[in-house]
Structure 1
């Protein structure tokens, strides 16, 4: 019997809705065919955006969308993607597949997509191959409400009023595809570039995100924080609002990542162990950030995370198209629990990517669309958005194969919403064993209980032929007790319990 203790009187931190953020890059069929089909497509659309995909994303309350990359961002010149579509420049997408990018999806289309979804905007600027002037003019084009060359150009292109940019990233992966920079150099470049990302609207601040580390590159975090916090006056404290972190769960090696659908129990537990490494990364990068920012005003922004496997057989290797199984559902649940538990520092996360790329929410094939197991986990977890994290502790045991592939059997996070309802989310990574759980509620008596679950066998997936193999199901196995609640969490499952 596993024991879960929840202290309803101890609110630890706010769980930002942005923790459930998404990422869309000009990569493979994420934008084109996935999100955007154009106004003249036979596929139902509104201003070129696929109606079925937009509705599915609205249903999980996507809070924020990052665009245009990714590695693509540091080769993206925004003026190529504005104006009449027939006159926009065509280019080769050198990062992803060597295909022609016709720039028919640009700044105006991105803001239209976010308007339809109802989400915040996270723009990634080009530091790697772009100039300070180019970045500054893009911000002016998007956000200035007045008389200026860029505001006038925006009006000429059909949008008189400015948009709202909620977050702006100064470069992407500048330790690699964004320029192969050293951390000290990037830190000083960041100081320069961010100066010209101006808040033209005095009532709305653009939150600036610095490029953070690749996985466990702690030196990068140390040196960037040091450079950005050196010689800072009180008036300059808004120089950095967030520092990113990128970490992908790769079961094998970068050269041979393993199949997304054909895998053994060993691969399952190896994947779980690698994804749980995220907690160590958060803790150690947070400790470095604490040296310079003890009040945690700078958020950790995990704006690329998720599973990365070999592409589906027969597809373009540069398109990163992979299927999605119950293994991905557990990876999603584990990471979202981790982000919740560290929401004092983790302020946003953006799974890679939204449609048709890596660990996506949605897969499309022509006019067909399916929701992945990962989508259904995000559906379960949307209840945590903007809640208060509650103190909780859970007894676990090690499960898996051999010493090398042992992991904790259960993970959890607990929040309370504005109406006083407790939301408990748990994962069980054990492929065979269900676990009885006795939950003690301190400071609260269990009233009405509702629960739902995503569960199945490890290789279960949704296909265009069988689109509903994995989904959200009702779960009636929770009972109120004198001390709280009790239930048994099935093997290979992600569970949400709401307690009024």
Structure 2
């Protein structure tokens, strides 16, 4: 195995190791100060495929157990996973959505064609009231995406008023007529979505001016998020930050979208049939998230050195070819152990950038892309990604522990990536370390040294499988889940643990 050195301020650093060692982690618990926002563990629900209809909602006349039409099993699983925030209604769908189509008696709501996702008819039976009802049922904070691509400033301002206003006004009265007396408690609104693409194919200069116009008239919004760059479009970030720098009350967050796929966009590959080379390449592409956060962060630092504007990674996850026989516009894919590693890596990266990353939303919640839940009729399965989110909820609201990592490289041909990816936090006198062993076949001994903390006991959990292609399927025993993991007792402030290949592990010291 080859070795390399990467040094980034405040983030885990990788350094050369002697060949006799494998992985060493130094945790600086006495320097922990940055809070990890629970919103980093957010989710995304777009009107796409079977996410809402047949995913979180039962079909009309269905005998599936439900609460006001929402699947009881899905509600229970999401509450158990502890979803902190949910983004809606898109995505590309948001920039064709008129909120007035989704209020009032359902039988009176007009239908539209979902031009972005499958060309199917959207009956708008899931709208504003239903979204907030679902958020309350699963215990999640709502995050609404306003329509800039095909909407108007007046339309957006009225929707904000409808949702947030408690003053006598036409929109307040309309909301009350539709059965909701009090305004909803909401903090986050995004003004537009992918406005460089499906949200209008705008230039950054045009969008920046338009954003300022929308933000000015969207009173009542506590946290305004601007539509950010397409992956590595650093000029977009530069323009947005420059044009809003003297109007900081207009923008509190800037979004970033980045998807992981192993091949080319035109041939992304199967979600369940792949070899180790594809596994390695997928994880290598996932690690690019750190580069994007760092480079966009450097631009943001020029205009916002105090980091008052959050980087909002509100679309991330794997994107493969759809499962054979399914509607190409529904983006339905399976979810293997590979996706568990992708989730663990990304969440570790977000944790380690907690000073700038204030929210992230995996795409998407149910039956779409890297879903945490899949449904089929009355059956529901929890994916490997679900178990990663459940494992990592120990980081919600915890304090980030800076760390140094010394690890070997995982080499495949002429490409290499660090073998171990990790993050750590402290909360309630407990140190939690989440570790990903990216290697498909080789375990690694990890030596953890904690400064400023002495653990007396240690426990662990693990997510892994027999094969890199293992996944959970309907009507079959679960192949990838969350299991207890034996950890030796700490020796003062030191702990040694053997991390199996292709695994995500949580180690906690108290």
TM-score by length of 1: 0.96
Q: Which segments of structure 1 move beyond 4 Å, counting only runs of 4 or more?
A: none
1:202 equivalent in structure 2? none
What CA distance in whole angstroms lies between the structure 2 residues aligned with 1:288 and 1:45?
47
2:436 equivalent in structure 1? 427
2:174 equivalent in structure 1? 153
1:139 equivalent in structure 2? 160
Q: 2:344 aligns with which of 300, 311, 333?
A: 333
CA contact (8 A) 2:458 2:487 kept: no
CA contact (8 A) 1:250 1:309 kept: yes
What CA distance in whole angstroms lies between the structure 2 residues aligned with 1:172 and 1:221?
14
Q: 2:378 aligns with which of 362, 367, 385?
A: 367
Deviation at 1:441, TM superposition (A): 1.2
2:78 equivalent in structure 1? 57
1:209 equivalent in structure 2? 225
Moved more, 72-81 or 190-199: 190-199
Q: 2:487 aligns with which of 477, 482, 485?
A: 477
What CA distance in whole angstroms lies between the structure 2 residues aligned with 1:119 and 1:288?
31
Aligned residue-pair number = 488
CA contact (8 A) 1:40 1:48 kept: no
The runs of 5 or more residues in structure 2 that have no matched partner are 1-20
Q: Secondary structure at the match of 2:368?
A: coil
TM-score by length of 2: 0.94
Q: Secondary structure at the match of 2:26?
A: strand
What CA distance in whole angstroms lies between the structure 2 residues aligned with 1:478 and 1:360?
34
Deviation at 1:360, TM superposition (A): 0.5
Deviation at 1:467, TM superposition (A): 4.7
Q: 1:183 aligns with which of 187, 195, 204?
A: 204
2:450 equivalent in structure 1? 441
1:32 equivalent in structure 2? 53
Q: Secondary structure at the match of 2:186?
A: coil
Residues 227-238 of structure 1: pairs in structure 2 closer than 5 A: 227-229=243-245, 232=246, 236-238=247-249
Moved more, 28-37 or 62-71: 28-37
Deviation at 1:444, TM superposition (A): 1.3
Deviation at 1:38, TM superposition (A): 5.7
Residues 281-320 of structure 1: pairs in structure 2 closer than 5 A: 281-320=292-331
- Aligned-residue Cα RMSD (Å) equals 1.0
2:475 equivalent in structure 1? 465
What CA distance in whole angstroms lies between the structure 1 residues aligned with 2:152 and 2:128?
18
Q: 1:226 aligns with which of 233, 242, 248?
A: 242
1:274 equivalent in structure 2? 285
Deviation at 1:291, TM superposition (A): 0.6
What CA distance in whole angstroms lies between the structure 1 residues aligned with 2:452 and 2:78?
36
CA displacement 1:251-299 (0-9 Å, x = unmatched): 1111110000000110000001100011000000000000110000000
What CA distance in whole angstroms lies between the structure 2 residues aligned with 1:463 and 1:483?
42
The runs of 5 or more residues in structure 1 that have no matched partner are 200-204
Q: Secondary structure at the match of 2:32?
A: strand
Deviation at 1:180, TM superposition (A): 0.4
1:377 equivalent in structure 2? 388
